[in-house]
Amino acid sequence: MKRAKIYIPSKTAMQSGKGKQKKWILEFYTKDTKINPLMGWESSTDTLDEVVLKFSTKEQAIDYARNNNISFTVIEPKERKFTIKSYADNFIKN
Please report the domains of the chain, with CATH numbers, ordered by start residue.
Answer: 1-12+21-32+48-94 (3.30.160.190)
pTM of the predicted protein model: 0.70
Residue 66 has pLDDT above 80, yes or no: yes
**Is 10 a residue whose pLDDT tops 90?**
no
Query: What is the DSSP secondary-structure string of the chain?
Result: --EEEEEPPPPPTT--S-TT-SSEEEEEPP-SEEE-TTT--EEES-GGGG-EEEESSHHHHHHHHHHTT-EEEEEPPPPP------GGGGT---
Give the amino acid at 10: S
Tell me, what's the pLDDT at 41? 84
Residue 48 is predicted with a pLDDT of 82
